[in-house]
Amino acid sequence: MKKVLIPTKLQSIARDILEEHGGYSVVQDESTPLPELAAAHPDTYALIVRSEKIGAELIDALPALRVIVRAGAGYNTIDTQHARRKGIDVMNTPGANANAVAEEVIAMILADARHVVQADPSVRSGLWEKKKFMGRELAGKTVGIVGLGAIGKLLLRRLQGFEVRALGYDPVISEERARDLNIELTDLHTIFREADYVSLHIPENDQTRGIVNEELLTLMKPGATIVNCARAGIIDEDDLRRLKPEKKIRLLNDVYPKDEAGPKPIADVSDLMLPHLGASTVEANTNAARRAAEELIEYDDMGITSFVVNRDIPAGLDEEFGELAYTLSRLCRAMVGADHPLKQIETSFYGTLKPYAQWLLLPMVAALNKDFDRSMDYAAALQYLKDMGVDYRDRETDPSKKYENSITVDFTAHTGGDQLMAASVRGTVTEGNLMISRISDFDKLYFEPKGHTVIFTYEDRPGVLGRIAAALASANINIDDVRNPHNSKGTQSLALLKVNQPVSPDLVRRIADEIEAHTAFHIDL
């Protein structure tokens, strides 16, 4: 029998499921220090943990260890790289707390709207302040959901009984899927302009950090409410602090830079604060425990590795091709517009890459959403695209084209109504360097996708590239490399410039307006 060590306070359902299976002996001990448990159970095959720190020293103390399961989504407390070096798979249970967070959002909105927190001590003290605690109803309001992943979708379902108008923003989900969910898919500006409540459900990364800033906050209705049960860094606190008195914006907050006691910098602009209680329900903990046990059984009995987060590159595949697939997907996404809902993805894998087509889809999907881990498996990638309403097709390739080890990625996106926009990007790896050979109808680029890059497409005519260069120079931006081809008909041009620093969205817009660009964006590759 395989020994499973659970050194944490976890619902007993995990132990019950594993013992009922018959193939595991389970030791659950939340009181003994983990190093002592490891010394007492060196034959441990699998660890099921929550937020315990699992470092290299502990991993080395368990020579028989082959699997670590995090009963929860985040696994930053586990040394996944050392585990990989020791041949240990690390898994997590994403989505187990989704309903708990969705319900928390509803609870916070209602508690704030009806002054529940303030009214209780008032009545207990003998006061009767009905006029002071005049509230608002949720019914008939407009609620914007930023991020339509597992939590966003569940929040939408929970809101339906309140008869609200629901607006949604998610750059991956398709128009068809949004219609199925009964939500109006729109952009961030529309949500912040029209919503009475904006609920945030996006990860914090380089693209989303500080995304709720002055530009969006100034659009909000007076007295509108933001609910943040996602990540602290996605709101620019200084901008909110500056605009709150004028706009009377309310903030209901459950997330902080660190989960610990002590003063919170956002306290002065928060109208309701909770100590990161989103996943703190008996049901969420039970779901995570159940999922952890089920995933371990599926891993052992059926070889299902969908939730392994530290998988190796497949044998025989150069690691750079994974980076190429990721980069092509990011670039193609930018070409069709980062805010436009995707409808279809098509891929072509040439030469020796064809056998790795399923694996190479993973970094492409990860490029679309930072929440999707690149170490998931092909089934998880397909399921993610299906959930987002995005069709996927891997095309048969023609060896006579002699593209050798190249990848072509085509995206089709909705741009409004029945209008569609398509883009295609092809690339390869040459002498260990990523190389973009074609973007849509602009061929033979031979461009290394690395660093700050700004791209424009426009009707071909003399002098446009000079105007772009002059505008960049006026902002003290230096050009390191340029590609400026025509399309096959000679009617359009592509200006692809590698520059020494980021190009602000405002400058990109100004240049685009000046040259009447069809496509214009900056991307850090």
Q: What is the pLDDT of residues 431-444, one digit of tens each?
A: 888 999 999 999 99
- As a whole number of angstroms, the distance between CA 291 and CA 14 comes to 8
- As a whole number of angstroms, the distance between CA 24 and CA 5 comes to 10
pLDDT confidence of residue 73 = 76
Count of CA atoms in the C-beta half-sphere (13 A) of 291: 22
Lowest mean pLDDT among 202-211, 381-390, 449-458: 202-211
Does this model's pTM top 0.75? My answer is no
The domain segmentation of the chain, as residue ranges, is 2-96+283-302, 98-273, 319-524
Bridge partner list, 6: 28
Other CB atoms within 10 Å distance of the CB of residue 133: 13
Closest C-alpha to 223, from 191, 263, 192, 196: 196
Q: Please, what sign has the CA dihedral across residues 332, 333, 335, 340?
A: positive
- As a whole number of angstroms, the distance between CA 255 and CA 93 comes to 20
Are 11 and 285 in contact by the 8 Å Cβ rule? The answer is yes
Q: Which option is the CATH number for 319-524: 3.30.70.260, 1.50.10.150, 3.30.420.40, 3.90.1200.10?
A: 3.30.70.260
Closest C-alpha to 169, from 143, 133, 130, 136: 143
Measured CA distances, 207 to 60, 368, 370, 391 (Å)? 37, 11, 9, 25
Same topology, domains 98-273 and 319-524? Answer is no
Q: What is the pLDDT of residues 303-334, one digit of tens each?
A: 877 788 887 566 667 878 988 999 999 999 99
Are 166 and 159 in contact by the 8 Å Cβ rule? The answer is yes
CATH number of the structural domain 2-96+283-302: 3.40.50.720
Lowest mean pLDDT among 183-187, 400-404, 498-502: 400-404
Bridge partner list, 22: none
For residue 108, give every residue at least 6 positions away whose Cβ sits within 8 Å of its Cβ, in sequence order, or none: 227, 229, 252, 254, 272, 274
Tokens standing for 10? 């976890």
Q: Please, what sign has the CA dihedral across residues 220, 222, 225, 226?
A: positive
- Dihedral pair phi/psi, residue 112, rounded to 5°: -75, -45
Q: Does domain 98-273 have CATH number 3.40.50.720?
A: yes
Residue whose structure tokens are 């089934």: 379
Given a cut of 70, whether residue 468 has pLDDT beyond it is: yes
SS3 (DSSP) at 407: strand
**Cα angle, residue 325 at apex, residues 321 and 326 outer, rounded to 5°:** 115
Q: What is the pLDDT of residues 274-304, one digit of tens each?
A: 999 988 899 999 999 999 999 999 999 988 7
pLDDT confidence of residue 312 = 59
